[in-house]
């Protein structure tokens, strides 16, 4: 065989032998020298939301002189809430809500930030009948006010009980709650300091509260507007230390007895997209020290009782006629009658009971979208006879352009 042909056959054989090796190397690259990349940790399920509301207000003078803290013409940011929620284990979560509010005239900053809520929550497993338990520890919701705010728009005004000073919307302590079977309502109970979330604990006594909210027609689809009917009896049993708790010069000794701080009431209402209609009655009893705690003027316990009545409605008239059952336009009206000192007991000079006052709120609102609402309203807080002889707390009357923005 000629030498040239032999060389060609040798080259062809070597090429065919190398081809499978090249293909194999391309199909299965060598990764033994590349360490495996560790999986990235799952991000924390942090939920952030917020609510901002405020107003422009024009407040006509009710006296020849300007009232304390009166702003006749001004833009006000009432509140800015930031809500942070995150899981912290199986069936447990935390919530922190910051509260940005307008400071008083005596503070350096125009606006201040503080904690409104800061608590750990445990959620039990939900049963087949709908029963689910929860527990909370920290700065948490008080027994009633957030419940009423599910009916009443907070951006227009505080609820009647909070505005009248019965107790605050939040406090530091513990809470437990449970939904009732078959959508029949819920139970919520708290043990708190009693000093509210705006100040530190002031004495050794605690406040106990319980609310039972019943929704007897919630499972009845044919009940119409009454399907959301809710009735909520509640009680708040608190106590305060005597002003003579530490005794003092000339006094007969320290007074360890607590002063009564009891509140109770009944709230009822319906909450339909077309109509909100609600009313409440509440009673308060506040213990007071009588006497100077001396031999000449022995100390005894007295009390002052007050009461309030409140009713409000949010009517969306076009929601009844447009076929969708919803409308962005609403008419808002509310009336409170508050008597701070309806009666008194064991007080040497009985406190005057002629100091009742009323609160009127009326106006219209429009939902630009589900998160943004504007309102135009009139509000007044005046003595019941519209006179000025018996001045209520925060006496005022004014015209407002309110806004509420959720995110």
Rounded to an integer, what distance in angstroms lies between the CA atom of residue 264 and that of residue 256? Answer: 25
The torsion angles phi and psi of 46, rounded to 5 degrees, stand at -85, 125
Rounded to an integer, what distance in angstroms lies between the CA atom of residue 38 and that of residue 99? Answer: 41
In a domain, 269, yes or no: yes
In a domain, 20, yes or no: no
The more confidently predicted of residues 79 and 103 is 79
Residue pLDDT, tens place only, 297-318? 999 999 999 999 999 999 999 9
In a domain, 367, yes or no: yes
Rounded to an integer, what distance in angstroms lies between the CA atom of residue 292 and that of residue 252? Answer: 9
Whether residue 307 contacts residue 283, with contact meaning beta carbons closer than 8 Å, is answered with yes
CA dihedral 149, 269, 365, 381 (to 10 degrees): -70
Whole-structure pTM over 0.75, yes or no?
yes
Distance of CA 58 to the CA centre of its chain: 27
> Would the pLDDT of 1 be above 70?
no
Rounded to an integer, what distance in angstroms lies between the CA atom of residue 217 and that of residue 225? Answer: 10
Rounded to an integer, what distance in angstroms lies between the CA atom of residue 256 and that of residue 251? Answer: 14
Whether residue 392 contacts residue 383, with contact meaning beta carbons closer than 8 Å, is answered with yes
Whether residue 259 contacts residue 288, with contact meaning beta carbons closer than 8 Å, is answered with yes
Q: Which residues contact 104 (CB under 8 A, 6 or more apart)?
A: 69
Residue pLDDT, tens place only, 197-255? 988 898 999 999 999 999 999 999 999 999 999 999 999 999 999 999 999 898 999 99
- The three-class DSSP label of residue 25 is helix
Rounded to an integer, what distance in angstroms lies between the CA atom of residue 30 and that of residue 12? Answer: 28
Residue pLDDT, tens place only, 176-211? 999 999 999 999 999 999 999 988 898 999 999 999
In a domain, 57, yes or no: no
Residue 344 belongs to domain with CATH number: 2.40.160.10
Helix-then-strand count for the chain, H and E: 3, 16
Residue pLDDT, tens place only, 33-80? 444 455 555 556 899 999 999 999 887 765 556 555 556 688 889 999
Rounded to an integer, what distance in angstroms lies between the CA atom of residue 68 and that of residue 83? Answer: 32
> Would the pLDDT of 3 be above 90?
no
In a domain, 307, yes or no: yes
In a domain, 238, yes or no: yes
Rounded to an integer, what distance in angstroms lies between the CA atom of residue 70 and that of residue 105? Answer: 11
The torsion angles phi and psi of 210, rounded to 5 degrees, stand at -145, 135
Confidence of residue 353 (pLDDT cuts 50, 70, 90): confident
Whether residue 311 contacts residue 270, with contact meaning beta carbons closer than 8 Å, is answered with no
Residue 150, pLDDT score: 97
In a domain, 38, yes or no: no
Counting every residue written for the chain, the total comes to 407
Range of the domain at 160: 112-406
Distance of CA 283 to the CA centre of its chain: 22
The more confidently predicted of residues 332 and 19 is 332
In a domain, 302, yes or no: yes
Compute the chain's Rg from CA coordinates.
33
Residue 39, pLDDT score: 58
Whether residue 258 contacts residue 194, with contact meaning beta carbons closer than 8 Å, is answered with no
Residue pLDDT, tens place only, 328-349? 999 999 999 999 988 989 987 7
238: number of Cβ within 10 Å? 21
Residue by residue, what is the 3-state secondary structure of 109-176? CCEEEEEEEEEEEEECCCCCCCCCEEEEEEEEECCCHHHHHCCCCCCCCCCHHHHCCCCCCEEEEEEE
Rounded to an integer, what distance in angstroms lies between the CA atom of residue 348 and that of residue 396? Answer: 32
For the chain, what is the domain count?
Answer: 1
Tokens 């969708």, residue? 324
Q: Which of 32-36, 61-65, 148-152, 349-353 has the lowest mean pLDDT?
A: 32-36
């Amino acid at each position: 065989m000629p030498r040239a042909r032999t060389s060609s056959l040798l080259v062809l054989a070597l090429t065919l032998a190398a081809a499978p090796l090249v293909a194999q190397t391309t199909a299965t690259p060598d990764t033994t020298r590349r360490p495996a990349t560790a999986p990235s940790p799952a991000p924390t399920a942090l939920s952030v939301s917020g609510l901002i509301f405020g107003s422009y207000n024009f407040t006509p003078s009710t006296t020849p002189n300007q009232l304390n803290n009166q702003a006749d013409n001004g833009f006000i940011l009432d509140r800015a809430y930031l809500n942070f929620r995150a899981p912290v284990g199986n069936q447990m979560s935390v919530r922190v809500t910051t509260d940005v509010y307008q400071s008083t005239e005596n503070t350096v900053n125009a606006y201040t930030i503080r904690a409104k809520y800061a608590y750990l929550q445990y959620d039990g497993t939900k049963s087949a009948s709908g029963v689910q338990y929860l527990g909370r520890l920290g700065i948490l919701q008080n027994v009633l006010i957030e419940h009423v705010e599910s009916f009443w728009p907070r951006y227009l005004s505080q609820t009647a009980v909070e505005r009248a000073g019965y107790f605050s919307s939040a406090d530091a302590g513990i809470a437990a709650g449970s939904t009732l079977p078959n959508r029949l309502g819920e139970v919520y109970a708290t043990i708190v300091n009693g000093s509210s979330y705006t100040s530190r604990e002031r004495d050794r006594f605690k406040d106990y509260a319980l609310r039972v909210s019943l929704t007897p027609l919630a499972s009845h689809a044919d009940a119409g507007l009454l399907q959301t009917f809710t009735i909520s009896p509640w009680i708040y049993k608190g106590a305060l230390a005597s002003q003579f708790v530490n005794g003092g010069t000339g006094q007969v000794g320290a007074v360890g007895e607590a002063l009564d701080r009891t509140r109770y009431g009944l709230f009822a209402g319906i909450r339909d997209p077309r109509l909100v209609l609600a009313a409440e009655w509440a009673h308060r009893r506040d213990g007071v020290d009588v006497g100077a705690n001396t031999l000449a003027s022995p100390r005894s316990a007295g009390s002052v009782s007050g009461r309030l009545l409140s009713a409000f409605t949010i009517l969306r008239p076009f929601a009844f006629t447009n076929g969708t059952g919803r409308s962005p336009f609403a008419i808002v009206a509310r009336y409170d009658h508050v008597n701070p000192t309806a009666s008194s007991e064991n007080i040497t000079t009985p406190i005057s009971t002629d100091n009742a006052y009323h609160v009127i709120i009326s106006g219209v609102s429009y939902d630009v979208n589900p998160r943004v609402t504007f309102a135009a309203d009139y509000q007044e807080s005046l003595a019941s006879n519209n006179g000025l002889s018996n001045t209520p707390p925060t006496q005022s009357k004014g015209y407002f352009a309110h806004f509420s923005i959720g995110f």
